[in-house]
Amino acid sequence: MKKRILKKDLAGKMPLLPNIMYMIIFFVIPMALLISYSFFVNKGYGRVEHTLTTENYINFFTNKYYIETFIASFIMAVIISILAILVSYPIAFYIVRYKGFKMKLASSLVMVPMLASSVVTCFGWYIMLGNTGIINSVLIGLHMIDEPVQLLYTRTGVYIVLLSGQLPYMITSIMNGIASIDENVEQAANTLGANPVKIFLTITLPLSIPGISAGMLLVFTGILSAYVVPIVIGGGKVNTLASLIVNQASTTLNWPKAAVMALILMVMSSVAMFLNNKLMESKRFGGGGR
Amino acid sequence: MDALVIKNLEKKFGDIEILKTINLEVKQGEFVSLLGPSGCGKTTTLRIIAGLLDATSGEVYINGVNVADVPVHKRNNGMVFQNYALFPHMTVAQNIEYGLKQHKISRAERRKKVREGMELVHLEYLAGRYPKQLSGGQQQRVALARALVLQPNLLLLDEPLSNLDARLREEMQMEIRNIQKKLNVTTIFVTHDQKEALSMSDKVAVMNKGIIEQYGTPEELYDNPKTEFVSTFIGYSNLIRGVVSTKDEHRMLLETNYGKVQIPLQDGLETGSRILGLLRPERIRLKKTFGSDLNCIRCTVIERVYAGSSIRYTVKTITDQNVVVTVIAPDESNNLSVGEEGCIQWLAQNMNLIEVNDEETD
């Protein structure tokens, strides 16, 4: 009896087999390899000795340069996430709340940067940020500065370009968040004596948090693993965790160290995702239930 | 002074006229329903009273004050929305406290009022729950308490019961009415459910296509409907159409689609006047026997629905009109079967006569 049920159960799950195989081959096995490599001894040129060691981890956490780069990457991800919220929220709010043709146009324009490859947008910015680029020309033309500001190959330049690249994700997430707020709820607050500013602060903004949080997750993980922009705009002067990993994996050919860094990057992203999920599950935002 | 006066209220959305000319007066402590089919403008009227919509023209006075320039948050009306519109990120207690906070009431006073509010709707034990964890009926109560703790000028209810199941709805009808009486709060209740309006209200304004067709007590509306719309929207009415054919000092004779009907003289009706008679099914007598009576209209039973204490017949007159007759406490003389012939009769005072103008008839 039990066996038959088991059989039936298995038969029911057969259609899932190709998907499960795909996940095993392309996700589970590589992950297992990555984790095991992080505990192997480096033999140089991509070769490893299959003895277990925590040397690679100790090495990473005691190296000042790595730690500094790691912290800088983290801070960059946090700052750009916050900047993205500040820039995106008003845009998302107006697109959702003020309907009409202009807003439809605006919401499609927001998506355009997502369609272009990051290499293409990068080189576009490269031209704009240069000493004779449009930004410096305009600033000089307006007599706001006398000398061109160095933007290329600086952290500021990297920040500007990374931020612009992440805005579409943040705007769409916040738009979804705001669109899901029942306008009756705001009107209820209004009838209860809240003026428009109070309504925004006590109702609209708190209820947008799930959207903001989702956007922050996308931007945070996107910035942590940003590679092209820091390389092209930073010109090698702005190192990130991702560029360190590429260096270790393809230049230095120290795969165990690259594996350690990759895992740390992944843990950070996972923690961000976990925190976001926790927030979404809280009863305030409609998760859980009784 | 009346708690609410609406004068010549008009509302247009673009070219579409939602409200034509709304006039309404509501006394302090009254429970008034705005009743009508969807699209009649009842919710629009309520939203204008609340201040959530601006009127195109006309005035709204709350306790004698023209509120045209008073913003929503200063009107102090308690509103309950159809979907309750509770604050999902706040607990029951926080929801109820919200309005008190906005009115800068001290913490101690707030705590007291929140407790009173929860007691009023019997929800003390749910203070720490979030709206998502509540049933529809419980959410409804929270919304009500939230609106009432502020001691509002007006309590505005926008179809608050339409999302509840039938039993709960009846329970809430009673409860809302009891609370309203206890607090003596002037209440405007929007509904499309005529039974609900009749059973709960002191007065009902029947709305249709942006106007108030009739405003009166439930009894007035049922027993003495002034328009065809009111008579058919509230309960069921048989419609008799005809003209006054002859008239003497005592009587007049109507030529109607049911046949000839003789009625006592009535003011305002002349020979040739077109009339509409509204006749409730339970006001008609159905008999097996038929004499040569003028006011006895011969008919054949085509449908019979037995409901215990009453029987609902559909009969066809010899002029080929269907008439619905409800016989209450049926006995030998009026218990007919399908296909059987009989006659219908009614007292002249039980037929509501309305004179109709040509352009109104279709």
**B247 pLDDT above the threshold of 90:** no
More confident residue, B35 or B268: B35
CB contact under 8 A, B89 and A193: no
- Among the partner residues A189, A191, A286, nearest to B132 by beta-carbon distance: A286
* A244, part of any domain: yes
Which range among A97-106, A132-141, B102-111 has the greatest average pLDDT? B102-111
Count how many domains chain A has.
1
Q: What share of chain B in percent tops pLDDT 70?
A: 97
pLDDT at B81: 95
Lowest-confidence region among A226-230, B303-307, B346-350: B346-350
**A2 pLDDT above the threshold of 90:** no
> Two tokens at B210?
């942006």
Summarize the confidence of residues A199-221 as an average pLDDT.
94
Summarize the confidence of residues A188-212 as an average pLDDT.
95
CB contact under 8 A, A192 and B86: no
Summarize the confidence of residues B280-299 as an average pLDDT.
81
Q: What share of chain A in percent tops pLDDT 90?
A: 54
pLDDT in tens, B36-92: 999 899 999 999 999 999 999 999 999 999 999 999 999 999 999 999 999 999 999
Of B100, B145, B99, which Cα lies nearest the Cα of B123?
A: B145
Residue type, A220: F
Q: How confident is the model at residue A5 (pLDDT cuts 50, 70, 90)?
A: low
Q: How confident is the model at residue A12 (pLDDT cuts 50, 70, 90)?
A: confident
**A289 pLDDT above the threshold of 80:** no
**B235 pLDDT above the threshold of 50:** yes
Q: How confident is the model at residue B131 (pLDDT cuts 50, 70, 90)?
A: very high
Distance CA B324, CA B278 (A): 12
pLDDT at B360: 47
Say yes or no: B154 contacts chain A, CB-CB below 8 A. no
**A36 pLDDT above the threshold of 80:** yes
* A205, part of any domain: yes
* A204, part of any domain: yes
* A14, part of any domain: no
Q: How far is A199 from chain B (nearest CA, A)?
A: 10
Q: What is the CB neighbour count within 10 angstroms for residue B123?
A: 20
Write down the mean pLDDT value for chain A.
Answer: 89
* A93, part of any domain: yes
Summarize the confidence of residues B247-261 as an average pLDDT.
86
Q: How confident is the model at residue B349 (pLDDT cuts 50, 70, 90)?
A: confident
Q: Which of chain B's residues have a Cβ under 8 Å away from the Cβ of A290?
A: 133
CB contact under 8 A, A182 and B83: yes
Say yes or no: A283 contacts chain B, CB-CB below 8 A. yes
pLDDT at B332: 78
pLDDT at B361: 45
CB contact under 8 A, B89 and A192: no
CB contact under 8 A, B75 and A192: no
Summarize the confidence of residues B90-98 as an average pLDDT.
95
**A3 pLDDT above the threshold of 90:** no
Residue of chain B minimizing CA distance to A285: B89
More confident residue, B260 or B187: B187
Q: What is the CB neighbour count within 10 angstroms for residue B289?
A: 8
Q: How far is B164 from chain A (nearest CA, A)?
A: 18
* A31, part of any domain: no
Say yes or no: B240 contacts chain A, CB-CB below 8 A. no
Say yes or no: B151 contacts chain A, CB-CB below 8 A. no
pLDDT at B199: 92
Query: Which of B47, B53, B101, B132 is best to mutate for the A interface (most A CBs within 10 A)?
Result: B132
Mind spelling out the 3-state secondary structure of chain B? CCCEEEEEEEEEECCEEEEEEEEEEECCCCEEEEECCCCCCHHHHHHHHHCCCCCCEEEEEECCEECCCCCHHHCCEEEECCCCCCCCCCCHHHHHHHHHHHCCCCHHHHHHHHHHHHHHCCCHHHCCCCHHHCCHHHHHHHHHHHHHCCCCCEEEEECCCCCCCHHHHHHHHHHHHHHHHHHCCEEEEEECCHHHHHHHCCEEEEEECCEEEEEECHHHHHHCCCCHHHHHHCCCCEEEEEEEEEECCCEEEEEECCEEEEEECCCCCCCCCEEEEEECHHHCEEECCCCCCCCCEEEEEEEEEECCCEEEEEEEECCCCEEEEEEECCCHHHCCCCCCEEEEECCHHHCEEEECCHHHCC
* A2, part of any domain: no
pLDDT at A287: 54
Parent domain of A229: 57-285
Q: Which of residues 190-219 of A touch B (CB under 8 A)?
A: 190-195, 198, 202-203, 206-207
Distance CA B131, CA B113 (A): 20
Say yes or no: B146 contacts chain A, CB-CB below 8 A. yes
Q: Which of chain B's residues have a Cβ under 8 Å away from the Cβ of A206?
A: 89
Summarize the confidence of residues B324-328 as an average pLDDT.
90
Q: Which of chain B's residues have a Cβ under 8 Å away from the Cβ of A284?
A: 88-90, 130
**B29 pLDDT above the threshold of 80:** yes
What CATH number should be reported for the domain holding residue A268? 1.10.3720.10
- Among the partner residues A191, A206, A283, nearest to B79 by beta-carbon distance: A191
Q: Is the ipTM of this complex over 0.90?
A: no
pLDDT at A194: 95
**A288 pLDDT above the threshold of 50:** no
* A37, part of any domain: no
- Alpha-carbon A38 to chain mean position: 24
Q: Which of chain A's residues have a Cβ under 8 Å away from the Cβ of B43?
A: none
CB contact under 8 A, A188 and B87: yes
